[in-house]
């Protein structure tokens, strides 16, 4: 069965998106349709992504979709939150002939077989995502509930369409657009607050989870986080943890793994050299939380195993 995977991107994120795609194909190289949602890209822009897919995949394809500014004209954008973040919200109405899609941000590495999460039965859910107990949020109606990071979600497009999810999503977006801190994420959480399947933290291992300092992330059970660092499935370099930034300090302990997949994707030599300086010659000082420092030997052991091209077949399914 073909797996459907979608990204939102502008020119800034195309190179790192190719690294994400390379990581997916490294562990599942066949029968995937990749969709790139955009509003200003050309064939020349996404050619490197197409070449990565053709080189590493079998029976895989790239399908760019020009979204324009449909529904999102006038919504808040910043340098860190460009218009492209909203495009994932259009997936139920864009992919009308598809029942399910996995959405990923372009600052992610997938380090397990994506088939495992694709096979989840979402018949009664609108989406699946890594969820944590929310103790503090800009929207009081989310406090006390489980919320999720929108960088990795499995969307049950059919269920969303059948339950009037598209209309509900747009109504909430327009009603609350002046109060968002994390626009796309808060829109999805408000719309599908009680309609989600909970994935364990290994399916979206963020910097916040590993720092274990934020009040919400502190609710993650210790044993679940230990399992995540031993068998990560999705490593998410969100917020300031981007491995490719020249001035960003390496605060995500799995960042040294990024060079491995950047080579696999054949990203430009300049970026590979920067990653080599940061993570092989250690030109950037690592700053970790106390929890990360305590578990750094275990994390480095996992990095070495993945660099050898192996994942743990006994890793738990979602």
pLDDT tens digits, residue range 211-236?
988 899 999 999 999 999 999 999 99
Per DSSP, 37 falls in state E
User: What is the pTM (predicted TM-score) of this model?
Assistant: 0.94
pLDDT tens digits, residue range 60-113?
999 999 997 667 888 888 877 888 889 999 999 999 999 999 999 999 999 999
Q: Given CA atoms 267, 149, 202, 103 in this order, what sign does their dihedral have?
A: negative
Spatial neighbors of 148 by CB under 8 A, at least 6 apart, are: 129, 130, 131, 132, 185, 188, 189, 196, 204
In this prediction, residue 311 carries a pLDDT of: 55
- Residues pairing with 133 in the sheet: 146
Question: What does the block give as tokens for 3?
Answer: 């797996």
Reference 165, options 200, 114, 122, 120; nearest CA is 122
Reference 168, options 194, 144, 146; nearest CA is 194
Reference 129, options 192, 71, 68; nearest CA is 192
Query: How many residues does the structure list for the chain?
Result: 318
Q: What is the CA radius of gyration of the chain?
A: 19
Give the pairing type, strands 127-133 and 146-156: antiparallel
Question: What does the block give as tokens for 102?
Answer: 């996995």
CA distance linking residue 253 with residue 214, whole number of Å: 17
In the chain, CATH 3.90.550.10 covers 3-202
Contact 164, 156 (CB under 8 A): no
pLDDT tens digits, residue range 11-67?
888 999 999 999 999 999 999 999 999 988 999 999 999 999 999 999 999 999 999
pLDDT tens digits, residue range 249-303?
678 999 999 999 999 999 999 999 999 998 988 887 788 889 999 999 999 999 9
Question: What does the block give as tokens for 28?
Answer: 């599942």
CA distance linking residue 264 with residue 110, whole number of Å: 13
3-202: CATH number: 3.90.550.10
Spatial neighbors of 45 by CB under 8 A, at least 6 apart, are: 11, 14
Spatial neighbors of 286 by CB under 8 A, at least 6 apart, are: 249, 250, 251, 253
């Amino acid at each position: 069965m073909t797996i459907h995977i979608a990204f939102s991107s502008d020119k800034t994120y195309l190179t790192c998106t190719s690294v994400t795609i390379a990581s997916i194909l490294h562990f599942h190289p066949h029968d995937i349709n990749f969709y790139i949602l955009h509003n200003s890209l050309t064939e020349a822009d996404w050619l490197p992504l197409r070449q990565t897919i053709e080189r590493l995949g079998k029976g895989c394809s790239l399908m760019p979709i020009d979204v324009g500014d449909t529904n999102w004209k006038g919504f808040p954008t910043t340098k860190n939150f460009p218009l492209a973040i909203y495009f994932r919200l259009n997936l139920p109405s864009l992919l009308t002939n598809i029942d399910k899609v996995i959405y990923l941000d372009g600052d992610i590495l997938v380090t397990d077989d994506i088939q495992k999460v694709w096979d989840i039965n979402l018949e009664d859910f609108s989406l699946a995502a890594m969820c944590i107990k929310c103790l503090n949020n800009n929207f009081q109606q989310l406090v006390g509930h489980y919320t999720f990071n929108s960088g990795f979600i499995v969307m049950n497009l059919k269920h969303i369409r059948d339950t009037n999810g598209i209309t509900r999503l747009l109504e909430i977006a327009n009603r609350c657009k002046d109060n968002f801190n994390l626009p796309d994420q808060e829109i999805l959480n408000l719309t599908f607050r009680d309609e989600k399947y909970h994935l364990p933290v290994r399916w979206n291992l963020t910097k916040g989870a590993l720092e274990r300092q934020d009040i919400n992330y502190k609710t993650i059970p210790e044993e679940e986080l230990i399992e995540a660092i031993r068998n990560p499935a999705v490593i998410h370099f969100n917020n300031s943890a981007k491995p490719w930034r020249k001035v960003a300090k390496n605060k995500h302990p799995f960042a040294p793994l990024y060079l491995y997949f950047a080579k696999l994707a054949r990203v430009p030599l300049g970026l590979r050299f920067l990653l080599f300086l940061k993570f092989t010659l250690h030109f950037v000082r690592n700053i970790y939380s106390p929890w990360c420092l305590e578990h750094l030997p275990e994390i480095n052991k996992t990095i070495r195993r993945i660099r050898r091209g192996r994942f743990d077949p006994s890793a738990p399914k979602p």
